[in-house]
């Protein structure tokens, strides 16, 4: 999927086979959904060599979820453009969420998965503290714009600093304007990932749109270098020595 995946498990009793299953899953996802692989199922679908009803259950599930987000975002999230299909704006979060289920089913209680800024956190790294996640500054790779204290949360960030101007406003066909980055926190990484993309396309009104979705909050950095966030983010923002 064109990114680095980190898995940090703090449960000493987790069987090694669970980690093997997680990385096997990620390899399977890459083989199925990578738009960089000409033989992937999603590439074959995009070229018209497959029809949607001929696709695997996972592909059909992802396409249905993408359509759900397209409708609720009034088209700000749309995987069909330029005659092709690119579901990466949802499938990365979906795959990480599935990986977290694999770990939890195997008995993991305290872990952290990060796939290029799409994060699932469960439990705690140590009994006395929460996981801390730095949101990368969109213009300074060695700096963070904010730090979140998270536990049992999913976090996704959309912007142009990692993959360039890969996000397109479906209504104009051009890169969106107004924001440098958009971070969304909520219970599901599948939806946090897609919502962050949709909200990034919306620009400065994106954070308010996210706030209207039950259970989700947003933090955005505007092109005027202002950091704005929704009310629910207050409890997660780390200031000074706060835990």
For residue 100, which of 132, 117, 122 has the smallest C-alpha distance?
122
Determine what percent of the chain is predicted with pLDDT higher than 70.
Answer: 95
Location of structure tokens 């200031």: 239
Q: Tell me, what CATH number does 18's domain have?
A: 3.10.520.10
Determine what percent of the chain is predicted with pLDDT higher than 90.
Answer: 83
* pLDDT at position 146: 94
User: Does residue 207 lie within any of the structural domains?
Assistant: yes
User: Does residue 241 lie within any of the structural domains?
Assistant: no
Does residue 197 contact residue 77 with C-beta atoms inside 8 Å? yes
User: Does residue 202 lie within any of the structural domains?
Assistant: yes
| Structure-token pair, residue 185 | 């926190």
User: Does residue 96 lie within any of the structural domains?
Assistant: yes
User: Does residue 243 lie within any of the structural domains?
Assistant: no
User: Does residue 61 lie within any of the structural domains?
Assistant: yes
**pTM of the predicted model over 0.85:** yes
From CA 34, how far away is CA 39, in angstroms rounded?
9
Domain extent for 65: 5-233
* pLDDT at position 242: 47
* pLDDT at position 162: 56
User: Does residue 133 lie within any of the structural domains?
Assistant: yes
- Residue 3's pLDDT band, with cuts at 50, 70 and 90, is confident
Instruction: Report the range of poorest mean pLDDT among 105-109, 116-120, 157-161, 193-197.
Output: 157-161
User: Does residue 242 lie within any of the structural domains?
Assistant: no
> What's the structural domain count of the chain?
1
């Amino acid at each position: 999927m064109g990114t680095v995946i980190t898995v940090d498990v703090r449960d000493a009793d987790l069987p090694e086979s669970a980690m093997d299953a997680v990385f096997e899953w990620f390899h399977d996802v890459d083989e199925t959904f990578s738009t960089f692989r000409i033989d992937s199922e999603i590439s074959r679908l995009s070229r018209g060599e497959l029809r949607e009803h001929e696709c695997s259950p996972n592909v059909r599930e992802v396409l249905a979820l993408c359509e759900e987000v397209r409708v609720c975002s009034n088209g700000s999230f749309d995987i069909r453009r330029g005659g092709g299909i690119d579901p990466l704006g949802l499938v990365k979060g979906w795959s990480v969420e599935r990986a977290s289920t694999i770990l939890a089913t195997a008995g993991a209680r305290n872990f952290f998965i990060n796939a290029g800024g799409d994060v699932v956190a469960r439990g705690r790294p140590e009994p006395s503290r929460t996981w801390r996640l730095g949101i990368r500054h969109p213009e300074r790779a060695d700096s963070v714009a904010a730090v979140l204290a998270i536990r049992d949360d999913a976090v996704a960030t959309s912007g142009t600093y990692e993959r360039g101007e890969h996000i397109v406003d479906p209504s104009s066909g051009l890169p969106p304007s107004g924001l440098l980055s958009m971070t969304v926190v909520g219970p599901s990484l599948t939806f946090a990932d897609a919502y962050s993309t949709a909200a990034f396309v919306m620009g400065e009104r994106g954070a308010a749109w996210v706030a209207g979705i039950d259970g989700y909050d947003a933090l955005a950095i505007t092109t005027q270098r202002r950091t704005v966030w929704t009310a629910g983010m207050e409890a997660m923002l780390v200031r000074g020595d706060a835990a």
